[in-house]
Amino acid sequence: MALVTLSAGCDAVVGGQAVPAPVKSSSAAGARGPASPELREVVANALRVGGAGTGPPPSQAARQSTGVAEQTAAVRAIDCTPGRADPLAGHDDRTLPLVTCGQTDDTAYLLEPEFLPGSEVADATSGYDTQRGQWIVYLEFKSEGTKIWADFTSKNVNQQVAIVVNSQVIWAPTIRVAVLDGNTQITGKFTEQRAQELASQLSGR
């Protein structure tokens, strides 16, 4: 199993499990609900940080356009003020690109179509890694999901992947290594509560 050293403060996806084994605090495996997550690639050169956008709010069609000009305009215009309501929430077309916001921050994202559905998540748990002194989310995929994830992570090391629930980005970690066996760690200066929440969201609960 891979053991990867991360820079302080990084939100990251790494492979394998740390040694010694972490103290698991919650398991969120189970049936998928209506808030099933979707994994999408982040378009790296199309991020905007700064809350309220410029101009009128983009339409649903503009936020899911395949045209570069429309996508760029939507990223500039979308209101990502924390706490705002998203009129698209839960109604995005997963086969199309998506312009959206971080659920708890003011970042605007342009995302590629879904490449891995939440139905391919086999298990998601949170635990405290005593070796690194931090809370971590552990993610496992089913057979087909493992193959898709291995291919994606192999091609996108040092790129961000967005975990999307209800049309908003709940976390956008950076891939540090290719994950070939489906056993994935997500780090990011989590509190115990946030790690448990993310594990639950990854399971569609």
Please give the residue range of the domain that contains residue 115. 12-202
- E strands, 56-157, where? 98-101, 107-117, 121-129, 134-141
| Alpha carbon distance 98, 78 (integer Å) | 12
Provide the 8-state DSSP code for 52: S
Q: What is the mean pLDDT of each run of 10 residues along the chain (205 residues)?
A: 31 52 46 71 85 85 96 93 89 96 91 96 94 94 97 97 95 95 93 94 80
Task: Give the model's pLDDT for residue 15.
Answer: 58
Q: What is the pTM of this model?
A: 0.82
In a domain, 2, yes or no: no
In a domain, 1, yes or no: no
In a domain, 121, yes or no: yes
In a domain, 100, yes or no: yes
Domain count within the chain? 1
In a domain, 170, yes or no: yes
Q: What is the torsion angle, in degrees rounded to the nearest 10, for the CA atoms of residue 19, residue 22, residue 27 and residue 30?
A: 0
Task: Give the model's pLDDT for residue 3.
Answer: 27
